[in-house]
C-alpha cells in the first residue's frame, strides 16, 4: 500500500492540473463583482464591493455577456447548515428557470445551447432574508458588455410574506413538503410582475410575518422599525434611500396584525407614511389591502385605509392613495396567493398605477 501512494498522489496531482488547465483554457474570463458593467437593483450591502451581500427577496443582478456560455459564482450563508437559497435565472428576458444553491460555495452554469452572440442575464434572489444571505462573487464568460439604458421608472413594494412571494410556487415541491421556503419565488411575485408590466425596476422591501403593530411567529420586529434597513429580519445595516428613489411606493401591511385598535393602527400607519415621505418627497404612495384578507379582516383594513388616506390628503399630501383588491387570493401554501393569483394581483395593481401615474 505504501508503494502505491506516490503513484496515487501523481494521478491526483495530474488530474487536478488537467482540470485547472482546462478551466483556465476554456476561453472564459472572470469578472469580479465590482465590475462596472454589472448592475444591482435592490437593497444590497456593499461593505465589501468584491462580495456584495444580499438578504432581501427580489434583489436582482443584471449583466450582458458575449458568447454561448456563462457561469455565476456566489456564496451562500448556508445558515444552520441546511437553509439554502433559491434563485431565478433569466436569459434574454425568456422564461426564467429556478435553481437552488448547493452549499456555501457555488458555481452555477447557465444552460448550454445559447447562440454565440450577445445575451443578457438576470439573477434574482427568490428567498427570504431569514433564510440567509448570498454573496455575489462574479461571472465567468467570454466577454462582459455594457448593459442597455436601465428603465426610467422605479417602484418599491413594502410588505410581508405576500409581497416577498412566500408559499406561491408549487411547480416543483408541493405545500407541506420539503422546507417552508421551497415555494418562495420573489421573481414571480406581484410586485416584480407589476414592474415588468410597466417597464420599471422593482425593489421588494418585504419580510414574511412582519406587521405594522404586531408580527407573527415570535418575530421581534415590525415594519416601522425595519423599513430603513438592508437586513430586515435582523433590523440591521442602514439603507441609503438616495440609492433608489421610486416613482411609486406601495404598502401592503396588516395581514399579520389582524384587527387592531383603530386609533393606534391608523396613527402608527400615518407616522410610517410621514417618515417615508421624508425619504421619498416625490413618490406616489399607495396603501393596499391585503390580498389574503378574509371577510373579517378586509372591511377593517378598508376602514383603516379610508381614514388614513383622507387624513393625509386633508393635511396637504395629495400623493397618498388607497387601493382595495377585488377579492381574496389564497390558493397557495398557508393561504398565500399562488403563482397564478400573483399574476392577477399584479394585473389589478398595474391598472391602478397606470391610472395614478398616467403611464
Angstrom distance (rounded) from CA 197 to CA 178:
32
Residue 105's pLDDT is 96
Residue 4's pLDDT is 35
Mean pLDDT value across the chain: 92
**What interhelical angle do 297-314 and 262-279 show, nearest 10?**
50
327: pLDDT strictly greater than 60: yes
Q: What is the pLDDT of residues 110-139, one digit of tens each?
A: 988 899 999 999 999 999 998 999 999 999
Residue 25's pLDDT is 54
Angstrom distance (rounded) from CA 217 to CA 227:
19
Q: What is the pLDDT of residues 329-350, one digit of tens each?
A: 999 999 999 999 999 999 999 9
54: pLDDT strictly greater than 70: yes
Q: What is the pLDDT of residues 176-227, one digit of tens each?
A: 999 989 999 999 999 999 999 999 999 999 999 999 999 999 999 999 999 9
User: Residue 251's beta-bridge partner residues?
Assistant: 158, 287
Residue 3's pLDDT is 37
Degrees (nearest 5) of the Cα angle 113, 116, 119? 85
Q: What is the pLDDT of residues 131-181, one digit of tens each?
A: 999 999 999 999 999 999 999 999 999 999 999 999 999 999 999 999 989
Amino acid at each position: 500500500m505504501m508503494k502505491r501512494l506516490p503513484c496515487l498522489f501523481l494521478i491526483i496531482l495530474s488530474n487536478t492540473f488537467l482540470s485547472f488547465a482546462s478551466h483556465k483554457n476554456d476561453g472564459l474570463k472572470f469578472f469580479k463583482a465590482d465590475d462596472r458593467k454589472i448592475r444591482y437593483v435592490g437593497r444590497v450591502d456593499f461593505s465589501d464591493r468584491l462580495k456584495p451581500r444580499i438578504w432581501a427577496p427580489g434583489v436582482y443582478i443584471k449583466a450582458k455577456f458575449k458568447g454561448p456560455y456563462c457561469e455565476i459564482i456566489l456564496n451562500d450563508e448556508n445558515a444552520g447548515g441546511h437553509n439554502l437559497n433559491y434563485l431565478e435565472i433569466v436569459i434574454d428576458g425568456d422564461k426564467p428557470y429556478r435553481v437552488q444553491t448547493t452549499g456555501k460555495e457555488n458555481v452555477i452554469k447557465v444552460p448550454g445551447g445559447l447562440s454565440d452572440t450577445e445575451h443578457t442575464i438576470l439573477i434574482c434572489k427568490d428567498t427570504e432574508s431569514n433564510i440567509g444571505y448570498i454573496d455575489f462573487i462574479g461571472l465567468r464568460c467570454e466577454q462582459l458588455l455594457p448593459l442597455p439604458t436601465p428603465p426610467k421608472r422605479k417602484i418599491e413594494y413594502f410588505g410581508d410574506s405576500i409581497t416577498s412571494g412566500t408559499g406561491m410556487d408549487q411547480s416543483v415541491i408541493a405545500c407541506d413538503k420539503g422546507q417552508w421556503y421551497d415555494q418562495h419565488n420573489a421573481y414571480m411575485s406581484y410586485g416584480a410582475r407589476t414592474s415588468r408590466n410597466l417597464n420599471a425596476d422593482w425593489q421588494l422591501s418585504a419580510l414574511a410575518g412582519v406587521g405594522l403593530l404586531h408580527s407573527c411567529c415570535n418575530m421581534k420586529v415590525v415594519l416601522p422599525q425595519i423599513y430603513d434597513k438592508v437586513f430586515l429580519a435582523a433590523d440591521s445595516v442602514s439603507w441609503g434611500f438616495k440609492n433608489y428613489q421610486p416613482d411609486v411606493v406601495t404598502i401592503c401591511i396588516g395581514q399579520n396584525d389582524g384587527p387592531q385598535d383603530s386609533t393606534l393602527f391608523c396613527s402608527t400607519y400615518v407616522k410610517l407614511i410621514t417618515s417615508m415621505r421624508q425619504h421619498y418627497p416625490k413618490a406616489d404612495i399607495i396603501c393596499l389591502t391585503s390580498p389574503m384578507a378574509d371577510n373579517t379582516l378586509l372591511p377593517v383594513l378598508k376602514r383603516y385605509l379610508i381614514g388614513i388616506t383622507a387624513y393625509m390628503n386633508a393635511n396637504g399630501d395629495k400623493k397618498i392613495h388607497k387601493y382595495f383588491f377585488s377579492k381574496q387570493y389564497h390558493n397557495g401554501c398557508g393561504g398565500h396567493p399562488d403563482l397564478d393569483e400573483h399574476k392577477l394581483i399584479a394585473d389589478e395593481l398595474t391598472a391602478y398605477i397606470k391610472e395614478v401615474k398616467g403611464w
